[in-house]
Structures are given as structure tokens and as C-alpha cells.
Structure 1
Amino acid sequence: MSDPFLFLCYVSILFASNVLGAVGGFGAGMISIPFLTQLFDAKAVIMASTMTCILNLFIAVKNWRYVDLKRLTRILLYMCIGLPIGVYGLKMIDVDALKRLLGGFMLVIGGYGILKLRIPRAAGKHLPAWALRGCLIAGGIVQGAISSGGSLVLLYAQQELEEKNGFRATMALLWTVVSLITVFQYMLMGTLNRESLRLFAAGVIPVLSGIFVGGRLCRRLSQRSFAYVINILILSAGMISLCR
């Protein structure tokens, strides 16, 4: 990356997105990618972003005692049911329509989450277990098709992992595992290139710095403020998805 201005933009975007991502345990990639793809090759950015997501392992390790392994295993199990359906169904899926549908769904999830915080009666409403399992399978399908199944997983996580430390730690470990699997697939397919590796190398320090700062900020947040941050992140991701 020879252009100093581009390098400064790159590290600044990564740092800011990972501060926000570290607060919630997710979301750094969905915030940074729309901006970075305007500056660099989209495929290289996506692969580099997937590799930097592995660094979320630091959040999980530091907060290991809060990781809910039972629910993490359940999420991975049901997602793995849907993943191959998404991968093989990609040829028949209208990707743009699916992204718009997903963006609208995220707006509904985020809006409903904020509504529950504002109206106490709504907070007691929960989806049945079969619907949550369906969300995880659907999340696997969407993840396999367009690598954007996180919003459906978050619908499950918001209901089953309400405490902020457990939510952050479990989500960070989940996306670490998902990113490792995805990078392994890149390696098998031979799609990793020098540009993506250069972007990854340049992003390690700003990502780790963002994770550190975000962790410090999260400790200052109350449970209610944390819930607001999560739902605002979901709303932002939905708007970004629709705009793209």
C-alpha cells in the first residue's frame, strides 16, 4: 500500500469499526467493508476482513469465563445445517434481492429491539424455540450464500444471551470460528492473493487497537446502554445493506 493517504484511510476505518465491533462482540466487518470496497479491490477487502475477524479471538479469550459453550454449540450446529444449502443454492438465488430483504429484516430486528427497551411490556415477548432454531438454520443458508447471516443469528443471541459479557464473548468466539472455516475454504479454493494478505498485515495493529479501546469502553456501559448499542449497530447494518 504505497499511497500514504489510502493507508491512513484504511487504518482509520479499521480502527473505528473495530472499536464499535468490540463493544458488541460483532459488526466490525459489516461497518468497514462498505467503505473499504470504495477504496480497494472488493474481493481482496472481503478476504482480508475475514482474516482480521479471527482476531476477535482476543475478546473471547479475555472473557472466556463468560462464553456460553452450550448455546455456541447449538448455534454452530444449526448453522451448519443451513450452510451447504446456501453454498449450493447460490446459483439460483437473486443475491441483490436477498441483500435487500436481509437489510429490511435487520431494520425490523433493530427497531424491535429498541422498542422493547422503551416499552416494558414488549420486553416480555419472546420467540418460541422452534422459531429460533429456524432463524439459525436460515442464518446458515444466508451465510453460505452471501456471507451475511449474522443478523438472523443475532435474533437468537439477543433472546438467549441477554447479559452483555456473555453476549460479547460468545459472539466473538462464534465469528472467530466462522472466519477460520471461511479462510480455510479460501485456501482450498486458491483465492487468497497477495493484495488480501497485504491488507490483512496492514490491518492487524489497528484492529487489535480498536478491540482494546472497544473493550475498555464496553466496561463503562450499563446493561441497558449495551442493549441500545447492539440494536443501533443492527439498524446501521440494515441501512448500509439497503444503501449498497
Structure 2
Amino acid sequence: MTSLLTPQEFLFLLVVFIANTVESMTGFAGTLLAMPASMQLIGVDEAKTVLNVISLLCCIWITISCYKDTNWKQLFKISIYMILGMIVGILLFDVVPVSILLKFYALLIIFIALRKFFAKKDFTLSPNILIWIVVMAGVVHGLFLSGGSLLVIYAATALKTKKEFRATLAPLWVILDSFLFINQVRLGHVNETTIPLILWSIIPLILGIMLGIKLFPKINHQNFLKLTYILLFISGISLLLT
């Protein structure tokens, strides 16, 4: 990478800013929003590596600032099941063609966006099904760092308040993203291409966190989620047509 940013890299930094504004407000969905566009702008492995480090830094900040609201029992339970799923996701990424995984991923986020946007009321699932959803969230996170979209189905039941939701999911991503970072280092994905992008991304990361802090107490939660689902749908369609 040269000292000057390419147009694709500049757009990627804009995506990082938007994603971390979302992440700092909700404790999830930032990487899910960022991943489809980022994979097209800088490549699959590069996007996974850079966004993982940036998400890790953002969630470390949330964890430190909101630790008093963390549900530690649920954090431990979710972490165990998601790590099991992540191992499966990492193995799948190594053996299944990326083109097939990308189409599956695109269809998944389109389905989630439409289901969430048009849902009239919450639906009740059995405890066993909820646990399997957590495991599947781990699989998706191992593949594309985007397990939050599935995990929120469980978290919305287990975590009762907005503050507890945010404060419990953030340290979860710290645990999981640290695990993924170690694997990315092992695979050589933290290299001369991704390290400069990580350093550049710290600027929009900080700006996104600052904006998220200001918006968190002001924004209407339901309207914000509706906007998030619209952005997810657009991201999924663009990825499906790639």
C-alpha cells in the first residue's frame, strides 16, 4: 500500500466510521453492516482482518466504560457456545469455496433484515432452539465476523435492558475477536497490506465512537433498528449481485 489512500481505501474508511458509530451505540451490528461493502472494496481476507481489529478496539472501549451493567453469567454462557460455533466456521472457510460462502452470507443477511424489519411482534423460541441459534451465530462469526445478527435473537430474550444488552455483548466480541485475531496472525493475514489499513482505520474508529457516545442517549431505539435493517438489506443485495 502506498502512503496515499486509493479511492477504494478511502471509501473503506468511511464504512469503518459508519460501522463504529453503530457499534458504539448498540454493542453489535457494526461489523455486520461493514463487512459486505468492505469485502468488495479491499478483499475478503483483508476486510476480515482489519474489521476484526477495529471491532476489537471499539468493544474494548465499550467493555471498560460499561462494565457495571454486564451480565457476567450470560456472558460466560454465550461465549462457550459461540466459540464452539466459531471453530466450525473457521474450518468451513478453509474448505468451502469463498464464492459459495458469500452467496450464503448475502442471503442470510437479506433474510434477517426483512424478518426484523417486518416483524410485528417478538416470537418465542424454546431454550434448545435458542442455544442452537447461539452456536450458529458462532459459525457465522467464524466465517464473516457477523454473528451479532443471529445472536441478537437470543440476547433479546436473555438480556432485559438496553444497557445490559450493550454492556454484555461488547466483552463477548472482545473474547471472540481476540480468538480470531490470534488465528489471523497465525495465517499471516496481519501483514504489510493490512497493518497500514488498521492504522488508518483508527481515525474513523475514534470519530465513530465519539459520535456514537453523543447519539446513544438521544436516538429512538426502534427507529434506529429499522434504519439498520434497511442498510443490511442494501448490503446483502449488493453482495448477492457481485
- When the two structures are superposed, what TM-score results if normalisation uses the length of structure 2? 0.83
Measure, in 2, the Cα distance between the counterparts of 1:9 and 1:104.
Answer: 22
Closer/same/farther in 2, CA of residues 23 and 52 from structure 1, 3 Å limit: same
How far has the Cα of 1:47 moved from its partner?
0.8
Q: Following superposition of structure 1 onto structure 2, how do residues 4-153 of structure 1 map, counting pairs within 5 Å?
A: 6=7, 8-55=10-57, 56-90=59-93, 91-92=95-96, 94-113=100-119, 115-116=120-121, 123=122, 125-153=123-151
Deviations 1:103-139 (A, max 9, x none): 24312441255x23xxxxxx4x422211111101111
- Contact 2:35/2:144 (8 A) holds in 1: no
Measure, in 2, the Cα distance between the counterparts of 1:146 and 1:40.
Answer: 14
- Please state if 1:236 is matched with 2:237: no
- Contact 1:109/1:155 (8 A) holds in 2: no
Whichever residue aligns with residue 102 of structure 1, its letter is: L
Match of 2:181 among 180, 183, 203: 183
How far has the Cα of 1:32 moved from its partner?
2.8
Q: How many pairs align?
A: 233
Deviations 1:29-75 (A, max 9, x none): 23233334444344223211111111121012111111111111111
Tell me which stretches of 4 or more aligned residues in structure 1 moved more than 4 Å: none
- Contact 2:110/2:232 (8 A) holds in 1: no
Q: Following superposition of structure 1 onto structure 2, how do residues 148-167 of structure 1 map, counting pairs within 5 Å?
A: 148-167=146-165
Measure, in 2, the Cα distance between the counterparts of 1:38 and 1:188.
Answer: 24
- Contact 1:45/1:199 (8 A) holds in 2: no
Gaps of 5+ in 2: none
How far has the Cα of 1:84 moved from its partner?
2.5
Measure, in 2, the Cα distance between the counterparts of 1:140 and 1:8.
Answer: 30
- When the two structures are superposed, what TM-score results if normalisation uses the length of structure 1? 0.83
Measure, in 1, the Cα distance between the counterparts of 2:199 and 2:109.
Answer: 31
Match of 2:197 among 193, 196, 199: 199
Deviations 1:137-171 (A, max 9, x none): 11122333444332211111122224111111222
